[in-house]
Structure 1
Amino acid sequence: MAFAKKVEAILLGQGRALAAWLPVVFSAGCLLYFLPRHEPGPAWACLTASLGALVLWRGWNRLISRSLGLAVVMGTLGFLAARGQALRQPPMPALPALAVVMTGEIAELTTSRDEGQMAQRIRLRHAVFETGVDIGMAPMRRDLLLFTHDGQVYESGMMLRLRAVLRPPDWPDFPGARDRQREAWFDGLAGTGRILGRPEILQSPQRYFLARWREKIATEISRHLAGQRAAIAATLLAGHGEGISKATRAAYAASGLAHILAVAGLHLGLVMGVVFFTTRQALVLWPWLGLRLPCREIAALAALLTGMAYVALTGFHLPALRSLGMAGLASLALLAGRRVLSMRSLAVVALILLIASPVLVLDLSFQMSFAAVMALVAGYEALRPWFISRAERGIKGGGGHHLILLSLTSALAGGATLPLVMAGFGSFQPWFIIANLVAVPVAAFCVMPAGLVALLLMPFGLARIPLWVMGQGIGLISLIADGVAALPLAHVAVPVIGGKGLALYMLGLTGLCLWRGRARFGFLLPVMAGLVSPFLSPWPLVLISPDAGLIAFSENRRWVVGAHGGLENRVLDAWMQAWPGPMRGMDDAASCTGARCTLTYHGQRLWIWFAPLSPEEWGPDCQHDGFVITAQPLPAGCQPGRFIDRFTVWRDGAVSIMPHQGKLEIRSDRSWRGERLWVPRVGFRGVPNLPQALSE
């Protein structure tokens, strides 16, 4: 009884801050759906929700019971919401194995230029295949991502007839890697493809006014700016980010400025801030009007409407939508005379977005956005007494004070998201604060205001001067990015944080920001555990790609990579990002002789064959009790003790061999992900497209 009273006193001490934990519990329920290796049913979730509701109802007079019951109900609702979203997705269709002629409508179009070559990515909707078995088929319910380099000008809404080679979503590069099949399942994609020849335009665009407006803005920008300045300006003003080259992205990422290339809270805040300041100053220029109108509220509404237009103009990207939700709540708080930004407003936005799309709990950009805002709110709440005491003493904020604030903002937001960057990209940028101290003010006072003026003057053909100013600011930021990226240790490769380590870090960061009192520092333990987790996990001994076209093994923390084609470079990059280390070929490995490599681990021997051999060339390895790994099918009569061949990979996806307690453990992608809706069954090629019913 005394323990219950103590717990109740602790909960009462948290006050209204407990409400901010509701989206945390809801997201835990969403995550619980994605964790099992089998498709969970709703029975136990409904039972748990009933128990939670019972505790919530019967425990009306005790805070502990009500809190526990509400947490159980919210977690169960998150689980059911995630399961419902997964079940609502249309099944994966069967795609033709050979090149096929199809017709469809352009739903989205992005154009990029890299090294002088223009590439276009077309999202094709309502595709219909022109093959004998597909006569009368209904339009596909899922979209296709098609790539072309033909140089023809397209617009969203066009009807095309084209010939393309299609492929379903790729398997993960290794067990536990990025799940592109799950992303395609929830994104409504059926697969990707490459267009052969030049598509035929059957119909001009009739809809997609907003998409065509964005394309016209990007075209206008390309008339006045060139190179990467035009690509970055098109990203910031029209949401077309595919024109940014890999070198530019690498420089911005190495300097900690990658957030400038993604339309999110920073850009929306700058646009709304410029509109708010300009509108309010314009209203108070006439004292009679300024004294009789609520200038601040009018400026807040104008800024919010401009922010909504900016988010629509840049393509309704998810980070911008999240920021718009926060901006809407901040505007309402300003109109109501409440605090503009608080943990509860952040919790409301997070809960709304998770209810709309529970799969966001796995999205890296979602995690980074809320981690940054949460750290900023908690950090400034903790430092608020210091700022209030300065105001009471009449200390005026000078340049040094503003520099401290800017540094603190960069440190809080960058420090909170840095482990997430390490988890997503396997890199660490120690100089990000220095780069942001200069680049963010340039973006705030030059790039975004000039871009906003350019948008207003484009209909009158007067956007040349503001676009030039914007280009100069972008050039300065790019110069800063290149300079910081060239510093020593600017881009340090680190092992990728796994799912468990990332969950520990997010739990610790959430508790550190949301909990009140000194007990919050206890959440530093899961934060540290999550950060050190990748350095404590063992390296794989052998890695095999999803199509068995690439095999690599580690030898004294160095990777030995077998012969492979250019199509396997993406998989190899993913391996090197997850486990960074020196790489060499088979000719330089001491354990390799010709096309055969022999490894030994705790007395267990592994033979890796990179070339097809006959049973005579295999020799005794075929009948040995050891471990045989080959990229080719085993010959008839070959029966080693344990083996992995091309058929194993075809059936189970990518394979890794991990040392575990003195033994070798085989981890396949199928055993890692299990039997889920987005994981294809063995031999599954998709649901056939059925013809439409005949009309009477």
Structure 2
Amino acid sequence: MPAWLAARLWQQRARLALWLPVAMGAGNAAYFSLSREPGPLWVVVAIMICAIGAGLLRWRGGLLRTRIGVGLSCAACCGFLAAWGGAHRAAPFPDLPRRATHIEGQVMSVEDLPSPTGAMVRRVDLAHVRLRDGIDADMPPMRRTIRLRLRTDDAPGGDAQQGAQRITPGRWLTVRAMLRPPMPPDLPGGYDAQRRAWFTGIGGSARALEAPRIRDAGPNDNGPGDAGPGDAGLRDGGGAAWLEDARTRIARRIMGVLPDGRGAMAATLLTGRGGDVSPRMRADFADSGLAHLLAVAGLHLGIVMGIGMAVTRGALALSERASLFWPCRQIAAVAGLGLGCGYVVLTGGHLPAQRSLVMAAIATLAILTGRRVVSLRSLALAAAMLLLIEPEEMQELPMQMSVAAVMALIAGGEACAASLRALRDAPVAWHRMAGRIARLVLASVLAGTACLPVGMAHFGNVGAWFVLANLIAVPLAALWIMPFGLLALMLMPFGLDGLALVPMGWGNAVVIWLAHHVAAWPGAHVAVPRMPSWGLALFFAGLCWLCLWTLRSWRLWGCVLIASALVTPWLARPPDLVIPAQGRMVALRDGGRLLAGPRGHVDRFIVDDWTRVLDLAAGELSDDTVTPDGRVACRAGTCVLVRHHRHIIVQLHEGGGEIACAQADFVVSLGVDRAPCPGVPRIDPLVLWRSGAQALYVNRDGGIGVLSDRATRGTRPWVMGPGQHGTPNLPMARAE
């Protein structure tokens, strides 16, 4: 190691430990980026690296290069091993029947959600699911959860609501339904819902075809051979059923006092149930940068804990003995953490709230031990714990946004601490007021700017007015909405909750009005191409480099990496033709439009996802579509796409028009048993069955490249086999 580099690193020795969770995240990302599942040799090598590293630290631990090299390599291996272990602890996907089947399972949770038509739909998660038809009738229960969607008439407000309202956790449900496995991405490189389902224990979804039959748990239900981890509370429906019933009653009480969007927002904040929030309201909150207010996570938990700490500290201050002899600050911190735990349980214990609770517990521990509460070391410790406990969450949006926002807030606060302190201690009143406003503006700018690239990677859009919206909405939520919400929960047993819910509704109305108007401003929702995964990795590398060092000359290189990451969405060329895995439709790119067809087979959800990810406008591809430049021409169900003097023939359905095979450089056939033009490269139903979604690119030199979903995701435990078939739920033979 050069002497100048060693001297600089020695100056930054207090920051070196912060790079350990960064290395763990790199090992985590390395595991998920592999195209094949690593074999036992990879795992043995990673374990040996950790063991050898421990020996090197004991032997040559005094050398700086040894500490850095061993620490980073061992941390990366730990992140890799945690991700590998999490993937292999999960049960395999069941092979679900593709016909109407009677299923029976135990209710784990119930949630009411709005459908695209605006009607309410009840969603039920079922555990210990058994198939009651055919060969599967006497098989053991599934080891994964099935997510059942009831009919619209069975949801609250329908004709069958009396039976639907009896669905509570712990009870058993039997229904005739259509089952479907977790679906693969509709675009190679798109969001992997199968990976998400693999780690969250979801085995598939179901759509009810009739009203469900409900019964209480019997003595033979959920026996010792059937029970899974964490199911003890569901055997008699005790604690889980009581909690679910309490959340339901609280939400109904809130909606009875505040029946419109104000009540939907209040029910979301106090119970975690967002089913009453309309799609229009969700869109307004997303476009205005206020979507985090409708997702119970770190912000809400911090407000609740802050209120609990302030009330406890104020109550203890009323006693002279407590003020003089008791550790009031520590007692208030423990009380705030307890209140936060209760709030997380009441709101459903969602994963973002659980992650925030882990960080809150670390902050409370810092208060009890006299350490700094908000620091990059606390964030590093929390991130390392989460990477070990939930390694898969590092690939998901909530975790990425939380880490980016908190890191930017802490590092930005450290950089501006002297200026903010000078304003806070200024003798002039308006200077002190300017300091308070500056803190709010700085927090909104730092957190919002750090989350923008993450939104570009997951949503394909950016907003320009998030700073102004959050500058008003967040203080209002902290100082008015949540305090009155907690007061309403305390008054609810006495029937006096209306005294607090009405003022809470006033604050909610202001936030809803703000979101609606800010979302309508120009630039509130700007669509951009989706950032590739390697661009997002480059952004996080730059953000860590910018935030974790203290040397200004080093920090500037982080800005270079971030700027490079922000241009990556425009470096990738969109495909010229895309086909989803189900193979019933195709989309051709015509300049800035994406023409989808054939008519009657277009899935609007898939098209909306394509246009959002590729930043293209949606268009229609019919049997007689002809573009002005002639690059897309359809006749009698057969289309010709011309790109760089290459002709791609697309047969939309059986019995299409004549195909000029002599001019065909590539053939795409949908739902056609006998593929035309033998010898010509093609995409047909068999290719889609084997490889999933397809994307076709025509290069400037005339070369035609095809990227498939299977080639992108590789052979991993969560990637289902051809035809999206899982593991049969049958007893294995002795040889197997």
TM range (shorter): over 0.9
Deviations 1:355-413 (A, max 9, x none): 11111110110000011000000000011122334456545564332211111110000
- 1:248-282 deviation digits (Å, cap 9, x = unpaired): 11100110000101011111111111122222222
Displacement of 1:157:
1.6
Aligned residue for 1:371, secondary structure, equals helix
SS across alignment from 1:613:
coil
Instruction: Using the TM superposition, give the Cα deviation of residue 126 of structure 1 relative to its aligned residue in structure 2, in angstroms.
Output: 0.5
Secondary structure of the 1:671 match is helix
Letter in 2 for 1:11: L
Residues 116-125 or 496-505, more deviating: 116-125
Q: 1:357 maps to which residue?
A: 390
Instruction: Using structure 1 for the length normalisation, give the TM-score.
Output: 0.95
Of 231, 236, 244 in structure 1, the residue corresponding to residue 269 of structure 2 is: 236
What do the CA deviations read for 1:198-256 (whole angstroms, capped 9, x no partner)?
11111176321333322222222222221322222221111112332211111001100
Preserved contact between residue 624 and residue 640 of structure 1 (Cα < 8 Å): no
- SS of equivalent to 1:128: strand
Q: 1:673 aligns with which of 697, 705, 713?
A: 713
> How has the CA–CA distance of structure 1 residues 537 and 357 changed in structure 2, closer, same or farther, with 3 Å as cutoff?
same
Q: Which residue of 396, 406, 409 corresponds with 1:376?
A: 409
- Tell me what 1:685 maps to: 725
Contact 1:46/1:76 (8 A) holds in 2: no
How far residue 325 of structure 1 moved from its aligned partner, in angstroms, is: 1.9
Equivalent position amino acid for 2:63 in 1: R
Look up the match of 1:562. Answer: 597
Equivalent in the alignment of 2:147 = 145
Show the 5 A alignment for 1:409-428: 409-428=443-462
Cα deviation digits, residues 293-347 of structure 1 (max 9, x gap): 3322222221111111111111222221222222222222223322111001111
Partner of 1:77: 78
**For the Cα contact (< 8 Å) 2:639–2:650, is it kept in 1?**
yes
Contact 1:626 1:640 (C-alpha < 8 Å) held by counterparts: no
- Range with greater deviation from structure 2 (348-357 or 10-19): 10-19
Distance in 2 (alpha carbons) for counterparts of 1:194 and 1:241: 21
1:575 to 2:610 alignment: yes
Report the Cα distance in structure 2 between the residues aligned to 1:269 and 1:619, rounded to whole angstroms: 64
Contact 1:49/1:72 (8 A) holds in 2: no
- The gaps in structure 2 that reach 5 residues or longer are 156-163, 218-235
In the alignment, which residue of structure 2 is the partner of 1:539?
574
Q: Which moved more, 1:204-213 or 1:520-529?
A: 204-213
In the alignment, residue 14 of structure 2 is paired with which amino acid?
Answer: R
CA 330–637 in structure 1, closer or farther in 2 if over 3 Å, else same: closer
* 1:644 partnered with 2:683: yes
The DSSP-based 3-state class of the residue aligned with 2:97 is coil
Q: Per-residue deviation at 1:74?
A: 1.3
| C-alpha contact 1:538 1:659 (8 A) present in aligned 2 | no
Q: Report the alpha carbon displacement of residue 49 of structure 1 after superposing the two structures with TM.
A: 4.6
**631-640 vs 174-183, which moves further:** 631-640
Question: Quick check: 1:589 aligned with 2:620?
Answer: no
**Counterpart position of 1:598:** 640
Q: Is residue 149–residue 206 contact of structure 2 (8 Å, CA) maintained in 1?
A: yes
Pick aligned residue for 1:336 from 354, 369, 384: 369
Cα distance in 2 between the residues matched to 1:581 and 1:133: 47
AA in 1 matched with 2:149: F
| Residues 446, 473 of structure 1: 8 Å contact kept | yes
Deviation, structure 1 residue 165: 0.5
2:124 maps to which residue? 122
How does the TM-score come out when normalised to structure 2?
A: 0.90
**Pairing 1:448–2:482 present:** yes
Distance of 1:467 and 1:457 partners within structure 2: 10
Aligned match for 1:174, one of 165, 168, 187: 187
Matches within 5 A, 1:206-217: 206-207=237-238, 208=240, 209-217=242-250
Q: Decide which moves more: 545-554 or 289-298.
A: 289-298
Supply the AA of the counterpart residue of 1:482. H
**Aligned pair partner of 2:174 in 154, 157, 161:** 161
Which segment drifts farther, 562-571 or 178-187?
562-571
Contact map agreement 2:596 2:602 (CA 8 A) in 1: no
**Secondary structure in 1 matching 2:721:** coil
Deviation at 1:637, TM superposition (A): 6.5
Shift, 1:291, TM fit: 3.1
Q: What SS class does the counterpart of residue 688 from structure 2 fall into? A: helix
Output the amino acid matched with 2:85: G
CA contact (8 A) 1:106 1:160 kept: yes
Deviates most, 204-213 or 146-155: 204-213
Post-superposition CA distance 1:442-501 (Å, at most 9, x none): 111211001101111222222122112222211110000001011112111111111111
Percentage of identical aligned residues: 39
Q: What is the match of residue 366 of structure 1?
A: 399
Provide closer, same or farther for how the CA distance between residues 47 and 286 of structure 1 changes in structure 2, counting only shifts above 3 A: closer
1:497 aligns with 2:531: yes
Shift of 1:178: 0.4
Size of the alignment, in residue pairs?
Answer: 688
Is the 8 Å Cα contact of residues 627 and 640 (structure 1) preserved in structure 2? no
Letter in 2 for 1:29: G
Name the residue aligned to 1:465. 499
User: Residue 201 of structure 2 aligns with which residue?
Assistant: 188
Write the letter of the residue equivalent to 1:187: T
Within 1, Cα distance between the matches of 2:118 and 2:39?
52
Q: Which among 245, 257, 275 is matched to residue 224 of structure 1? A: 257
Superposed CA deviations along residues 605-643 of structure 1, whole A, max 9, x for unmatched, are 1122223226xx43432x555111121325366315211
Aligned CA distance change for structure 1 residues 636 and 684 (closer, same or farther; 3 Å): closer
CA distance in 1 between counterparts of 2:683 and 2:135 reads 37
CA contact (8 A) 1:136 1:692 kept: no
Whole-angstrom distance in 1 between the partners of 2:209 and 2:307: 47
CA contact (8 A) 1:560 1:589 kept: no
Determine the C-alpha separation between the residues in 2 that align with 1:565 and 1:283: 68
Q: Which residue of 1 aligns with 2:99?
A: 98
What is the CA–CA distance in structure 2 between the aligned matches of 1:636 and 1:93, rounded to whole Å? 32
Alpha-carbon offset, residue 287 of structure 1: 4.0
Cα displacement (A) at 1:103: 1.3
| Contact 1:596–1:608 under 8 Å retained in 2 | yes
Give the corresponding residue for 2:340.
Answer: 307
Residue 91 of structure 1, CA deviation: 1.0
Matched, 1:403 2:437: yes
Q: Tell me, what secondary structure is at the counterpart of 1:198?
A: coil
Name 2:654's counterpart in structure 1: 612
- Where 1:169 maps in the other structure, the secondary structure is coil
| Conserved? CA contact 1:138–1:692, under 8 Å | no
Supply the AA of the counterpart residue of 1:626: D
Partner Cα distance (1:564, 1:365) in 2: 37
Q: Say if 1:366 and 1:40 are closer, same or farther in 2 by CA, change over 3 A.
A: same
2:247 alignment partner, SS class: helix
Q: In structure 1, what is the Cα distance between the partners aligned to 2:275 and 2:291?
A: 14
In 2, Cα distance between equivalents of 1:87 and 1:69 = 27
Amino acid corresponding to residue 165 of structure 1 in structure 2: M
2:359 pairs, out of 305, 321, 326, with 326
Instruction: Using the TM superposition, name which of 148-157 and 683-692 deviates more.
Output: 683-692
Aligned counterpart, 2:31: 33
Q: Is the 8 A contact 1:271 1:307 kept in 2?
A: yes
- Equivalent residue, structure 2, for 1:516: 550
Structure 1: gaps (5+ residues): none
Inter-CA distance 381–593: structure 2 relative to 1 (3 Å threshold)? same
Q: CA RMSD in A?
A: 2.1
